[in-house]
Amino acid sequence: MSQLVDPFGREITYVRVSVTDRCDFRCVYCMAEDMTFLPKREILSLEELDRLCSTLVRLGVDKLRLTGGEPLVRRNIMWLIERLSRHLDSGDLRELTLTTNASQLEKHAHRLRELGVERVNVSFDSLDREKFKAITRWGNYDKVMRGLEAAKDAGLHVKLNTVALKGVNDDEFETLMHWAHEQGWDITFIEVMPLGDVGESRLEQFYPLSMLRGELAKKYTLSDIPYKTGGPARYVQVAETGGRVGFITPMTHNFCESCNRVRVDCVGTMHMCLGQEDSADLRTPLRQSDDDGPLIDAIHEAIARKPKGHDFVIDRRHQRPAVSRHMSVTGG
């Protein structure tokens, strides 16, 4: 049982930890093309990340997801994953996983599997080369495809995460679903979230997933299933393909009532809710003392402030994000 219980009685067992704000892509819904990255001294070292994650595991967190930016571009990141894998060996950690754009999986997939990582979430928004390039700005389509193949060869289970973008990839959703299911993978569609100024209009990007589900239901037999991976997706089984489709709907139907998650960004700030500005500084107690007591106190104090739900809304009058920080800083 987790020692971390929020004011609404929800046990916090799942933490997403950003290891870097840097990425080799510049996806239009996540980052501005001319991003200014954080100075190295502000970023938690790998040793600090190990200590922080290990403390969270001691407090009852049994699922860790490493995110970014792109986590696999962090120098020596495999050292951290190797260190954290000891908690899998001990049984204290049920799952260690990553969210990635797959650009580095060709290099790392087999070692990840050896270290006990069983599955990865891959952000992938289009099978069309030109569209993929337009969405990611800097992405290398062939490299991503080789990375996905390497993940399959290594025995990693892949879940594709596709952000629904109106007028961009909304003509591909069915094709993406078929392709994922042919590979034996799940696919989750995600509504665009108003995080950070990315130089694009959120209103123009937003595609409600209630529309997608309605369109799919006209052609396929969709059955609601209780399948859970620890995150906020609600899943359906598609009878015709035999695969699963998830929907993450922060805008049209929030999922806060069962939230068991918090995020820690790459500078050691805990975000108790992705859609709220309130946060807690964990870097100071990490750096001020070798004793974990102050860090544990800071974590407990933060969880005691976890809100009931988020405040996401697309501001139609002012065209500004609901939360000013970029997704790449907070972690996906």
99 is in an annotated binding site: yes
Task: Say what percent of the chain tops pLDDT 90.
Answer: 74
b/e burial code for range 23-46 (CB count within 10 A of at least 16 → b):
bbbbbbbbbbeebeeeeeeebbeb
pLDDT, residue 226, reads: 92
- pLDDT score of 106: 98
Alpha helices in 59-126 (DSSP H): 77-90, 105-114
Q: Three-class SS of residue 121?
A: strand
| pLDDT attached to residue 231 | 77
CA distance 149 to 325: 33
> From CA 296, how far away is CA 287, in angstroms rounded?
13
246, 189 contact by CB (below 8 A): yes
- Which pLDDT tens digit goes with each residue over 283-327? 999 999 999 999 999 999 999 999 877 554 544 444 454 445 445
259 appears as a binding residue in the annotation: yes
| 23 belongs to an annotated ligand binding site | yes
Q: What is the pLDDT of residues 204-214, one digit of tens each?
A: 778 999 999 99
Please check if 207 is assigned to a binding site: no
Q: From residue 181, how far is each of 57, 219, 278, 292 by CA, in Å?
A: 34, 16, 39, 45
Domain residue spans of the chain: 14-330
The sign of the dihedral angle between the CA atoms of 192, 232, 273, 86 is negative
Residue 195 predicted with pLDDT over 70? no
Would you say 53 is a known binding-site residue?
A: no
Q: What is the mean pLDDT of the chain?
A: 89
Q: Can you tell me the distance from the alpha carbon of 262 to that of 281, in angstroms, rounded to the nearest whole number?
A: 13
Predicted confidence (pLDDT) per residue in 46-97, tens digit? 999 999 999 999 999 999 999 999 999 999 999 999 999 999 999 999 999 9
How, if at all, do strands 269-271 and 279-281 pair?
Answer: antiparallel
CATH homologous superfamily of 14-330 equals Aldolase class I (3.20.20.70)
- 256 against 260, higher pLDDT: 260
Separation of alpha carbons 168 and 136, rounded Å: 12
266 is in an annotated binding site: no
Instruction: State pTM to two decimals.
Output: 0.88
Q: 65 among the known binding-site residues?
A: yes
Q: Report pLDDT digits (tens) over 258-283.
A: 788 899 999 999 999 876 778 999 99
